[in-house]
Amino acid sequence: MANARTEGRAKASARYHHGDLRAALLAAGEAELAERGVEGFSLRGAAARAGVSHAAPAHHFGDADGLLTALAAEGFTRFAAAMRRRQAALEAGGEGSDQRAILDSDRRNRPGAIDGAGLGYIDFARAHPALFRLMFASQRPDFADSALRAAAEDAFDILAGAVGAARGAGPWADEAGPADVAAAWALAHGLADLLLSNRLQFLRGAMETDPDGTALAIMRRLVLCAPEAEAGAGCARLGGS
pLDDT tens-digit readout, 216-238? 999 988 766 555 554 445 555 54
Q: What is the arithmetic mean of pLDDT over 116-129?
A: 97
Q: What is the DSSP string of 161-172?
A: HHHHHHHTS-TT
CA dist list (Å): 135 to 59, 127, 131, 189: 23, 14, 6, 12
Instruction: Quote the pLDDT of residue 223.
Output: 63
- 3-state SS class at 63: coil
Q: How confident is the model at residue 20 (pLDDT cuts 50, 70, 90)?
A: confident
Question: How does the average pLDDT of the chain come out, rounded?
Answer: 83
Q: How confident is the model at residue 26 (pLDDT cuts 50, 70, 90)?
A: very high
For residues 148 and 73, the answer to whether their CB atoms sit within 8 Å is yes
Q: What is the DSSP string of 24-46?
A: HHHHHHHHHHHHHHHHH--HHHH
Which of 167, 149, 164 has the alpha carbon at shortest distance from 226? 167
Which helix (DSSP H) or strand (DSSP E) does residue 112 occupy?
A: none
Cα–Cα distance measured from residue 241 to residue 237, given in angstroms and rounded to the nearest whole number: 6
Which residue ranges make up each domain of the chain? 2-61, 64-237
Instruction: Quote the pLDDT of residue 4.
Output: 46
Under CATH, domain 64-237 is a member of which superfamily? Tetracycline Repressor, domain 2 (1.10.357.10)
Question: 152-161 pLDDT, tens per residue?
Answer: 999 999 999 9
Instruction: Quote the pLDDT of residue 228.
Output: 55
Share of the chain above pLDDT 70, in %: 77
Question: 35-50 pLDDT, tens per residue?
Answer: 999 999 999 999 999 9
Cα–Cα distance measured from residue 52 to residue 101, given in angstroms and rounded to the nearest whole number: 49
Instruction: Quote the pLDDT of residue 160.
Output: 96
Q: What is the domain class of 2-61 according to CATH?
A: mainly alpha
Full-model pTM? 0.81
Which of 157, 107, 172 has the alpha carbon at shortest distance from 149? 157
φ, ψ (nearest 5 deg) of residue 153: -65, -35
Instruction: Quote the pLDDT of residue 8.
Output: 46
| Fold matches, 2-61 and 64-237 | no
**CB neighbour burial string for 83-113, b if at least 16 within 10 angstroms, e if fewer:** bbbbbebbbeeebbeebbbbbeeeebbbbbb
Instruction: Quote the pLDDT of residue 106.
Output: 33
Cα–Cα distance measured from residue 201 to residue 195, given in angstroms and rounded to the nearest whole number: 9
Torsion, Cα of 16, 20, 26, 29 (10° steps) = -10
Residue 119: other Cβ atoms inside 10 A: 27
Query: Which residues lie below 8 Å from residue 168, measured CB to CB, with a gap of 6+?
Result: 103, 106, 108, 109, 226, 227
Question: 164-212 pLDDT, tens per residue?
Answer: 998 888 899 888 889 999 999 999 999 999 999 999 999 999 999 999 9
Which of the two residues, 109 and 101, has the higher pLDDT score?
109
Burial of 134 (0-12, 13-18, 19+ CB in 10 A): buried
- pLDDT of 102 > 90? The answer is no
Instruction: Quote the pLDDT of residue 220.
Output: 86
Instruction: Quote the pLDDT of residue 94.
Output: 57
Choice among 89-98, 141-150, 207-216 with the minimum mean pLDDT:
89-98
Choice among 68-82, 96-110, 128-142, 180-194 with the minimum mean pLDDT:
96-110
Which of 125, 140, 124 has the alpha carbon at shortest distance from 194? 125
